[in-house]
Structure 1
Amino acid sequence: MRTRGAAPGGRGEEGSVALEAAIIAPALLLFVLLAVAAGRLQTAGGTVDAAARAAARSASLARTAEAAQQAASGAAEETLRQQGVHCTARSVDVDTAGLGAPLGQTGEVTAVVRCTVPLDDLLLSGLPGSRTMTGRFTSVVDRYRGR
């Protein structure tokens, strides 16, 4: 009488577990690598957002539009550098119209930071391509400070 699952000729399924592992292991490894890649992209995006917050805050403290642009660029660059995000192309655009608000009225300064990050920096060395990430933040200008 044959046992259940035995192959004809009396052979069992000794090699099937190894075969299943050989098929499943690469798929599982690919899934883990994709999860890590998504996490690194998300972290880089968060850093660009933090750079936009720092840029807007620094610009809102400046007295002139030129000083606001310089302060915003410096703050964004410092934040990206501290967090280890290397941009092949970076731009910091600041809307300084709120600096001209009359004394007693609230003004706003908006900073937009764009950073193009090479994928080989984030994911795997030698991976072609890049991704441009954008962060935007608006900071309030103190209504009672001297203009």
Structure 2
Amino acid sequence: MTIAQRLRDDRGALSLEAVILFPVIIMVLLLVVALGRIGSANNAVDTAARNAARAASLERNGGSASSAGQQMAQMVLGEQGLQCTATSISVSTGGFSAPIGTPASTTATVTCTVRLSDIGLPGLPGAKTMTSSFTSSIDSYRQRADRTSA
């Protein structure tokens, strides 16, 4: 076999290509997993905030509205299978002290920190915090317990 024939020989080229491309393919797959987890978590936090604000707006006073909103947000996060390392749920209840006939609303804010460190992608942060707020109108003509009508 001459030197020219050896230089044209393709044996081992596929192995070399596989060794080079395999880590790149793994990194792309891990990136897809990370982006999927972030997107899913963001969707779950949005849903939790929306449902919490709606549940709070159906109550008659601020105390029960706050409690109903927090319970709903926890339930939605649990149903979505989202495991937050830190969770914060707040429901504004100032609208319940508005006089009957006055437009009022309540806002629920849900914050969840999602762990990303188990994915193992270099350069990816260990956790990402997602926050979502949603405002729901309180029925203007529904009796509220926080304020008595004259």
TM-score by length of structure 2 reads 0.82
Shift of 1:120: 4.9
Q: Deviations over 1:1-60 (max 9, x none)?
A: xxxxxx834121222122112201210121111111111111011101111111111111
Kindly report the root-mean-square deviation, in angstroms, between the aligned alpha carbons of the 2 structures: 2.0
In 2: Cα distance, 1:26 partner to 1:90 partner: 35
1:132 aligns with 2:132: no
Amino acid at match of 1:114: T
Q: 1:77 to 1:96 in 2, by over 3 A?
A: same
Which blocks of at least 5 consecutive residues in structure 2 are unaligned? Answer: 145-150
Look up the match of 2:147: none
Match of 1:73 among 61, 67, 70: 70
Task: Map 1:37-76 onto structure 2 (within 5 A).
Answer: 37-76=34-73
Partner of 2:90, secondary structure, is strand
Partner of 1:13, secondary structure, is coil
Q: Deviations over 1:123-146 (max 9, x none)?
A: 46xx99332211110001111211
In 2: Cα distance, 1:25 partner to 1:103 partner: 66
Which blocks of at least 5 consecutive residues in structure 1 are unaligned? Answer: 1-6
Amino acid at match of 1:8: I
In 2: Cα distance, 1:109 partner to 1:71 partner: 12
In 2: Cα distance, 1:42 partner to 1:65 partner: 32
Q: How many residues align?
A: 138
Percent of residue pairs identical: 46
Look up the match of 2:97: 100
Amino acid at match of 2:28: F
Amino acid at match of 2:91: V
In 1: Cα distance, 2:112 partner to 2:17 partner: 43
Partner of 1:48, secondary structure, is helix
Q: 1:137 to 1:90 in 2, by over 3 A?
A: same
Amino acid at match of 2:39: Q
